[in-house]
Structure 1
């Protein structure tokens, strides 16, 4: 019996180590804004999100996702949005999603995106803050890094330059 338990434990540990290696590699290259990243694994809850046209929307699955919670009235959010757009343009292998949480009138969202030239991001809305609350967003901006299996692996509170060499190094380390 002990031998069977040891074999099962070893198999589970080896399976977990592949995912842990990605986080370990990402921690090893943390620098600049990415030093604010907190690593932890938790499932990303399902949520009823909307597009800017009020159509129901789901978050992407099967690929690494940079999930940013923001609002038009939040200066740090507005500051980092162009870097998220540049990240999506440079890294089509990622899904970069900007979720406007709370009260954000669609005309103001559209106006901001137009003024800033934001053209590459997937823009969704969480008007009732259902998703934001379920993942513990207490202030804005908050960005979650979600693996292809739908697990949140890291959280950054505050703004960051998401297309910087420091951010790209972390994202590359995670997605290996």
Structure 2
């Protein structure tokens, strides 16, 4: 009978081997992976792009928007909520990222029950002025994309497919984040 610690070690080894095989099969991912430092070490690069489900997002005036509106651009899609403390820390860095890399579309989506006034107050308190207010009030997109906790940030390629995901908060305007995103954009 194999001990529990040995099973854990075997699992860790399998994860390492799987990651190595994935990166070996995708040289671009290996190049980007080497740039990950700090918070970006949590960024999971996918071996192959994954289709993202269609969903209707609402703005502050209940106008409808779709992720397809951003096709042709790299997208930093951030799932967050007004009650989420890590989201409060992270949101200003997303705005600074948008200012530093205007070729990207930074798309924050308030998922679940988030009143528009609460979102506006959150943005004001966080000093966010340039990012759009978009809502996923029934969490349909979040659930369809397997978002289980907040914040979660998903990187979409210009075809609208998921290529990377980071669970938890991060400093999105860090040198490492900008290097990783710049490498993804350059490697198109």
TM-score range, shorter chain: 0.7 to 0.9
User: Which residue in the other structure is 2:137 paired with?
Assistant: 127
User: Which residue in the other structure is 1:84 paired with?
Assistant: 94
Q: Which consecutive residues of structure 1, in runs of 5 or more, have no partner in the other structure?
A: 1-19
Contact residue 68 and residue 99 of structure 1 kept, 8 A: yes
In structure 1, distance between residues paired with 2:78 and 2:115: 18
In structure 2, distance between residues paired with 1:39 and 1:115: 32
Q: Which has the higher contact order (CA 8 A, sep 6+)?
A: 1
Contact residue 98 and residue 124 of structure 1 kept, 8 A: yes
- The SS at the match of 1:122 is coil
| Structure 1, 149-158 or 117-126: larger mean CA deviation | 117-126
In structure 1, distance between residues paired with 2:109 and 2:143: 13
User: Which residue in the other structure is 2:80 paired with?
Assistant: 70
Of 31, 34, 41, 1:35 maps to: 41
User: Which residue in the other structure is 1:113 paired with?
Assistant: 123
Cα deviation, residue 43, structure 1: 0.8
Please give the root-mean-square deviation of Cα atoms over the aligned residues, in Å.
Answer: 1.3
Alignment partner of 1:53 is 2:61: yes
Contact residue 88 and residue 95 of structure 1 kept, 8 A: yes
Q: Structure 1 stretches (4+) deviating beyond 6 angstroms?
A: none
Cα deviation, residue 125, structure 1: 0.2
Cα deviation, residue 122, structure 1: 2.2
Q: TM-score, normalised by structure 1?
A: 0.86
In structure 1, distance between residues paired with 2:133 and 2:154: 15
Equivalences, count: 158
User: Which residue in the other structure is 1:174 paired with?
Assistant: 184
Cα deviation, residue 173, structure 1: 1.1
In structure 2, distance between residues paired with 1:132 and 1:22: 27
User: Which residue in the other structure is 2:110 paired with?
Assistant: 100
- The SS at the match of 1:26 is helix
Equivalent residues in 2 for 1:13-32 (5 A)? 20-32=26-38
Cα deviation, residue 115, structure 1: 2.0
User: Structure 1 residues 42 and 116, CA, compared in 2 at 3 Å: closer, same or farther?
Assistant: same
Q: Which consecutive residues of structure 2, in runs of 5 or more, have no partner in the other structure?
A: 1-25
In structure 1, distance between residues paired with 2:32 and 2:55: 28
